[in-house]
Structure 1
């Protein structure tokens, strides 16, 4: 964490985020666990998302939702220390996904979405090449072996 020491207030903000978001996200996971979960999902998408789990893709993005909701609860120092890691993961996710344009929304409107990760789909998939994919994944992702 760039050698910057966190203090009791910082740790208390992480604890508060964990506790206050638990009811909404059905599980007590720490900031570290949520960042690790987001990193694992990003890696899965980069490697080619398994088409068997296509209908679970949105559920897998909940780690990013949690991070979005936790960020304002965290102290400025925690955000400053962890922001580069989150930014790098977000950039990797953008590079491995394509934007959706649901229900006639323009690309510029989509770019303004607060939860932008909810409006993207994987560029590459693995698994059964005949598996049905969500219609919003258009054009269809490239199937890789």
Structure 2
């Protein structure tokens, strides 16, 4: 099976499992990158927007074991760089800040839910201020 068709099948499978549409790996990696760009500058919109945007990383986590080796090798280094940037731009709090507004997944593998942006600004910053 060629890598493109495997990745497309994974997107379709996750869509059948409840994701809004059949996303692609590239689409979700780019969403993760855009979220990190916002977090590094200071995420300022609503907490609900932030938690919604975090789900792009969940999608990647769910897709990874289903993808063929070629696709995994192609994207792993990029995701690792983005994950490191996210860690630098955020603070570990075991989900205390976001947990006031959104159910935090129980799995420790979903570590991004247990962090909040280091730079707190705007509406988001006002909501999370006690944690900044």
Q: TM-score, normalised by structure 1?
A: 0.74
Tell me if structure 2 keeps the 8 A contact 1:48–1:122. yes
More helix by share: 2
1:127 aligns with 2:122: yes
Partner of 1:113: 108
Pick the structure with more strand per residue.
Answer: 1
Is the radius of gyration larger for structure 1 or structure 2? 1
Q: Secondary structure at the match of 1:125?
A: coil
Distance 2:82 2:125 in 1: 30
Number of residue pairs aligned between Structure 1 and Structure 2: 121
CA offset at residue 100 of structure 1?
A: 1.6
Cα RMSD, aligned residues only: 2.2
Stretches of structure 2 that go unaligned for 5 or more consecutive residues are: 97-106
Name which of 77, 84, 87 aligns with 2:77.
84
What are the equivalent positions in structure 2 for 1:1-145 lying under 5 Å apart? 8-23=1-16, 24-50=18-44, 52-102=45-95, 113-127=108-122, 131-133=126-128, 139-140=131-132
TM-score norm. by structure 2 comes to 0.81
Q: Extract structure 1 runs of 4+ deviating beyond 4 A.
A: none
